[in-house]
Amino acid sequence: MLVALALLVAGRLAAQQDFAPEEATISATHAAFAAGKTTCVELVRAYLNRIEAYDHRGAALNAIITINPKALETAAEMDRLAAADKLRSPLHCIPVILKDNYDTADMPTTGGSLTLAESVPLRDAFVVKKLREAGALILAKANLMELARGGTTVSSLGGQTRNPYDLSRTPGGSSGGTGAAIAASFAIAGTGSDTGQSVRSPASAQSLVGLRPTRGLISRSGIIPLSTTQDEAGPITRTVEDTARMLDIMAGYDADDPITAFSVQKIPKTYTAFLDRDGLKGARIGVLMDFFGSETVHQQVNAVTETAIRAMTEAGATMIRIKIPNLEDLTRDIQVPHYESKIAFNNYLARLGARAPVKSLGEFIARGEFHRLLRQELEADQQVVDGLNDSEYKNRLLRRNILRQAVMTVMAENKLDAILYPHQRRLVVPIGEDQVDRNGVLSNGTGFPAIAFPGGFSAPTNSAPAGVPVGIELLGPDWSEPVLIKLAYAFEQAAKIRRPPPSTPPLPR
């Protein structure tokens, strides 16, 4: 009997050694569950151990604000239901890390702000509810650029998050906490929000996949808002396949976010149907030369992007060098958050009801419990009296439509499936500097979808022994997520760029 028990334990340990939580995907994790190589509790414990080892110690990424105190308890219940064959869900026990501007009824939603440190909403955000219903396990909430207002991921509550590929650099922003956490394998998948480029920036900076969807594809209700026009929610993952699987769950109509009505009948049965290894064959992709830098500081990104372009050509794509006439003028003065943010934030606080720690943006500013970098922008937004009726606001909305037309005209004239460019013209900046030379405007200024994915790495240095990641971005017309996923997946499978950061190696097992 003892020998049999010993053999059973030894067999179990050997099986566990076949599955590694680092770089794990959704499908590989589910296969490991089915094969008995791991359990939900073992998986969650492995990620909690990595957070313990690398978030405030070791590499000290400082990516996590809150860990779900019931994570292991929830995992045990998922194991119990799975053993009883009562749990069949597309994200069964997939640990997910949320950007901490997504409402969660069981944990604070802080926006990275000391003022909101103990703000627990009445209910989950719509997307969070959908993720939980699909079986996802919300493992933690991640740091962000406070209130998602910027690109370097520093906040009064969470401090400065560091890039696991180069600890002297930012992780991008504003969803940089999620990005650092997923890059370092603190979980399998994460969520971000993108007003300017805040899903795609951390993806670009940390060899990840980040999707900003078509306006209206994913609900924003229950996410601390910055702009009702420009805000989007999206997944951040290590692979294109996992982005497709997350998008399957996150997309959909929500009555509390009326713009999602436009997504009805636009969503395929599954985005995984477009994971085609040969997806670049016959594709026509425009290379937007306007979005390449010409100075010495831009050369490493240019070199990586050109290598990616050659790889796409070898995989069967026709790459066409294009320019959009007057693009610099078309993208100037089209940002609208300044006119919308006070109204949107005040409405969010009102929905918190009696739980709201402050009742308005004015009270938030008066508290003074926010990062100093936000003061000028917050005070400027507070001075807006009637932003939605401001003549400049209305002019900017018109200019956004002109940009949409210009993009679609170039795509039509060149018969393009998508437009390609580097997400950031130079490497992600060192901590303490402002994020510059990002190309997010073509998506945030039009509402068109864009996907950022690993394009390559810069040359290794002492602070970045594997090099600094460089992200490529593909943009298409409304509802072209299937095409973007197909093209990005085909490149990913052909080029196999992604590699984990050296600062957060596997833990002993």
Annotated catalytic, 156?
Answer: no
Taking the C-alpha atoms of residue 29 and residue 94, their distance in angstroms, rounded to an integer, is: 8
d(CA 100, CA 193): 10
- Yes or no: say if 101 and 356 are a contact pair by the CB < 8 Å rule: no
In the chain, how many H helices and how many E strands?
A: 16, 13
Return all residues near 391 (Cβ < 8 A) that are at least 6 apart: none
* 294, amino acid identity: S
- Residue with token string 């992007």: 305
How far is 242 from 234, CA to CA, in rounded Å? 12
Beta bridge partners of 451: 211, 474
Q: What is the 3-state secondary structure (H, E, C) of 110-144?
A: CCCCHHHCCCCCCCCCHHHHHHHHCCCEEEEEECC
- The whole-angstrom separation of Cα 18 and Cα 296 is 45
In whole angstroms, give the CA distance from residue 154 to residue 257.
29
Q: How far is 258 from 228, CA to CA, in rounded Å?
A: 11
Letter string b/e over residues 191-227, b meaning 16 or more CB atoms within 10 A of that residue's CB = bbbbbbbbbbbbbbbbbbbbbbbbbbbbbbbbbbbbb
486 as an active site residue: the answer is no
Backbone angles phi, psi at 190, to 5 degrees: -145, 175
**Active-site residue, from 198, 207, 341, 443:** 198
Structural contact between residues 130 and 248, judged by C-beta atoms closer than 8 angstroms: no
Rounded (10°) CA dihedral 307, 313, 317, 321:
70
Annotated catalytic residue 99: yes
Q: Kindly report the three-state secondary structure assignment for every residue of 276-306.
A: CCCCCCCCEEEEEHHHCCCCHHHHHHHHHHH
Q: Which residue has the tokens 């334990």?
A: 9
**Crossing angle of helices 481-495/299-314, nearest 10°?**
90
Residue for token pair 């791991």: 38
Catalytic residue among 174, 175, 219, 221: 174
User: Active-site positions?
Assistant: 99, 174, 198
